[in-house]
Amino acid sequence: MRKCQRGFTLVELLVVIAIIGVLVGLLLPAVQQAREAARRMSCSSNIRQIGLAVLNYESTYKMLPTGIGGTEDIGGRGSDWSNMNRISGFISLLPFMEETPLYNLIWNTYEYTEGRHAGLPTPSGGPCPWDTIDGGFIPWRTQVSTFRCPSDPGRVAAQATWAVARTNYGFNLGDTIEGSHWDWSTNANRGMFQARYNRRLADATDGLSNTILLAEVGTSDGERRVQGWVVNGIANIQNNPQLCRNLQENNYVLPAFHGQMGDWRGGRWTDGATAFTGVNPILPPNSPSCSPFGYPNDWDWGVYSASSYHPGGVHVVLGDVATKFITETIDTGNLSAPAPNFEQQNLIFGRSPYGAWGAMGTRNGGEVDVGAYGRE
């Protein structure tokens, strides 16, 4: 006798496939959310590790690293043989982040093995932070993993001869705009870091739990997103930051300004210029960044916003090393108000005109009631 073996019909197989497809469609968003939650946790951990490095540096040297510093040009040899006082505070933090070999490579001279300087000694402290062409300075191309957030898709093409290493975190320069990048005054800005000068934790008279040390910076993924890009040639933003905010359409810069943008934000972790490693807590998180100067001008002052690829906000680390997630809806006060500025080299003191966000950016504005903003 022959047994009758019955298989699945085509209709039954199609039904099973359809059910599996529906289940995958239902589960995929949850999986993606779980992955982003893990990435966001990693970002929070990274910025806290950098904050701890800042505190350990301050404990050792009784001062904070400069936001922009380094070596001066000697004998008119130019930017190839000094870093032109342009390297970032991240370099000073390397020994406190288990990156001492990289720090030593920067400050102890060795011989270039490739590029236009092959056979010549490297300058102590490194050359200018943009010296990466034709091989360039190896440390400037070395990516420190703690400086990168896995949520950020921005990458430099591996074959690019000018490839540079990035950062997703920037130093808080406060709610000042004009002159805050390079001014010689000891009060050139109201944040915790400044060019050429070393502040102290004790300078945060508003309280360390109320004052930002660093905030997230999104890097360019090749699109005209607000993350990564700086819009050039926007006049009068020092007197009306809202002009910069008006250039935003959803999460992008308006198409009319696409040709006036530079992909600088976070583009070089070694570069102390505000466009690369500085943050002004003025416009809310994930807003545009703007320079009043024409392209290219990546070293001057402007409005440089905190940004990230997390939905809804950015991480910051405060002076007590607490990390908070600041949402895009945080109070920013009057964005059409002029930024605090100099009067005969004396900074105007007082509360920030930019609400709770601006208050968290000032070290000594008399704002001691902003610690509740944001979430862990």
pLDDT at 138: 84
d(CA 192, CA 203): 8
Q: pTM for this one?
A: 0.88
Asked if residue 127 lies in contact with residue 137, where contact means CB atoms within 8 angstroms, the answer is: yes
Question: Three-state SS for 214?
Answer: strand
pLDDT at 126: 87
pLDDT at 83: 86
pLDDT at 8: 65
pLDDT at 243: 97
Asked if residue 169 lies in contact with residue 272, where contact means CB atoms within 8 angstroms, the answer is: no
pLDDT at 319: 96
pLDDT at 175: 94
d(CA 20, CA 12): 12
Q: Please, which residues have CB within 8 angstroms of residue 182's CB and are 6 or more apart in sequence?
A: 68, 188, 195, 299, 300, 301
d(CA 135, CA 23): 50
Q: What value, to the nearest 5°, has the Cα angle with vertex 83 and ends 185 and 182? A: 20
d(CA 174, CA 194): 9
| Per-residue tens of pLDDT for the chain, all 376 residues | 555 556 667 776 777 788 887 777 776 665 566 677 788 899 999 999 999 999 999 999 999 999 888 887 766 666 667 888 889 999 999 999 999 999 999 998 877 777 677 777 888 888 888 876 656 688 988 999 999 999 999 876 555 555 689 999 999 999 999 887 776 677 788 999 988 889 999 999 999 999 999 999 999 998 999 999 999 999 999 999 999 999 999 999 998 888 899 989 999 999 999 999 999 999 999 999 999 998 888 888 999 999 999 999 999 999 999 999 999 999 999 999 999 987 655 667 789 999 999 999 999 988 877 655 655 5
CA of residue 12 relative to chain centroid, distance: 54
Q: How far is CA 95 from CA 92, 99, 105, 352, in A?
A: 7, 5, 12, 35
Residue 235's CB: how many other CB atoms inside 10 A? 11
CB-based burial, 128-159: b 16+ in 10 Å, e otherwise = bbbbbeebbbbbbbbebebbbbbbbebebeee
